[in-house]
Structure formats: C-alpha cells, structure tokens
C-alpha cells in the first residue's frame, strides 16, 4: 500500500492540478490532496472555499481524499500515514523551487520523499495565478478549471467583490 499526498495552495485548483492528481491516482493506492494555508501568503479564496473548489473539482474521483491543513506538511505527512509527496512541475523555475522544498521536507522528516511529475503539455502554462488574473478581468475560465467547480468559483468571486 503506497499513500501519496499532493499538497498545494490550490487558490483555486486548476485542470493542471487535476491532471497531476489523476496521474498520481494511477500510480498510488491512495491519494490525499492537502489544501494548505501558509500565513506568509495571501489568498483570493479562503481555506474553506479552496477546499470546496477542490471537492467539486474531484467530484468524479471520490477515492481521492481532500484535507485542509494549517500546519507543516511534514507533520501532516506523518499524521495521515503518507509514504510519498507528489508535486507537479511546469518548468525549470518550478523544479528549482520544488527541489528546495523537497530537500527542506526531507531534512525535517527523512521519510518524506518527493516525487515530481512533469506537467502535461496542455497545462504547462496554466497556473492558479493566471486563473486569478483572468477572473479579475472577467475573462472565461473554460478549459482552465473543472466545469463542476466553475459555478461555485464565479459565485464566490462575485460575492467577495460586493
Ligand atoms: P502555485 O505554485 O501555482 O500557487 P499551488 O501551490 O497551488 O501552485 O500548486 C501546488 C503544486 O502544483 C505545485 O507543485 C505546482 O508546481 C503544481 N502545479 C501548479 N500548476 C500546475 C500545472 N498546470 N501542471 C502541473 N503542476 C502544477
């Protein structure tokens, strides 16, 4: 039994994230998505909203567990009995950052190894930042976030602006 945890901000979860999660599902017995909160970051969507967007995005994959966490990834890793961290990488900049994070996590918890999955060609230019920018401009998010999550994302964004 190999249990993978896929951590991130998911502000909001995109089809690029979903692609990594679906691929991890085919490699590991159990996949948990950890929606994290980092006090140093500011988010467009609250933790509860980011969790709901992740749940809606993963509606067709009920075997994928979605959890929210305000602490350290290495602590969550032990608490849920994970065996590996899975991260998507889009480019060299992502890889350099994620490798530094992976080293840090391994120093904190020698069991916490990270496996990198390369972004699919279709999604290598897709980021949550781009989605947030398009939302601010009122542009379409079709093909960028899951159709199941789109109405919720739009409604929460409109409400937050009022
Ligand atoms: P971001 O760095 O965009 O705020 P998150 O923290 O939400 O991203 O992302 C979690 C992980 O997902 C990171 O490892 C990031 O590299 C990866 N990721 C983000 N977008 C994509 C994508 N389009 N394809 C593959 N991996 C991605």
From the CA of 10, give the closest atom in ligand 1: 7
123 lines ligand 1 (CB under 6 A): yes
Smallest Cα–Cα separation from 6: which of 88, 61, 74? 88
- Please answer whether residues 149 and 18 qualify as being in contact, where contact means their C-beta atoms are separated by less than 8 angstroms: no
- Indicate whether 107 pLDDT > 80: yes
pLDDT in tens, 57-104: 999 999 999 999 999 999 999 999 999 999 999 999 999 999 999 999
The kind and range of the H/E element at 118 are strand 114-118
pLDDT at 40: 83
- Indicate whether 120 pLDDT > 90: yes
From the CA of 36, give the closest atom in ligand 1: 6
CB-based contacts of 43: which residues, under 8 Å, 6+ apart? 9, 11, 37, 50
pLDDT at 124: 95
Ligand 1 probe mutation, 10, 20, 41, 118, most atoms within 8 A of CB: 20
The distance of Cα 13 from the centroid of its chain, to the nearest Å, equals 6
pLDDT at 38: 85
Question: If you measure from the C-alpha of residue 89 to the centroid of ligand 1, how many angstroms do you get, rounded to a whole number?
Answer: 7
pLDDT at 25: 98
- Other CB atoms within a 10 A radius of the CB of residue 59 amount to 10
pLDDT in tens, 15-60: 999 999 999 999 999 999 999 998 888 999 999 999 999 999 999 9
Phi then psi dihedrals of residue 141, to 5 deg: -110, 10
Question: If you measure from the C-alpha of residue 93 to the centroid of ligand 1, how many angstroms do you get, rounded to a whole number?
Answer: 12
pLDDT at 39: 83
- Indicate whether 150 pLDDT > 90: yes
22 lines ligand 1 (CB under 6 A): no
Give me the residue label for tokens 């230019």.
Answer: 125
- Nearest CA, atom 23, ligand 1: 16
pLDDT at 158: 83
- Indicate whether 161 pLDDT > 80: no
CB-based contacts of 61: which residues, under 8 Å, 6+ apart? 21, 22, 25
């Amino acid at each position: 039994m190999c249990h993978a945890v896929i951590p991130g901000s998911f502000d909001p979860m995109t089809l690029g994230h979903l692609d990594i999660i679906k691929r991890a599902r085919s490699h590991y017995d159990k996949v948990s998505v950890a929606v994290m909160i980092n006090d140093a970051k500011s988010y467009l969507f609250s933790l509860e909203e980011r969790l709901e967007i992740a749940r809606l995005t993963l509606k067709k994959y009920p075997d994928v567990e979605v959890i929210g966490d305000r602490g350290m990834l290495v602590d969550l890793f032990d608490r849920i009995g994970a065996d590996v961290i899975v991260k998507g990488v889009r480019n060299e900049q992502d890889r350099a950052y994620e490798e530094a994070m992976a080293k840090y996590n391994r120093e904190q918890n020698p069991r916490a190894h990270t496996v990198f999955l390369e972004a699919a060609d279709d999604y290598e230019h897709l980021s949550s930042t781009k989605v947030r920018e398009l939302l601010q401009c009122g542009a379409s998010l079709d093909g960028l976030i899951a159709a199941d999550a789109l109405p919720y994302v739009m409604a929460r964004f409109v409400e937050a602006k009022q």
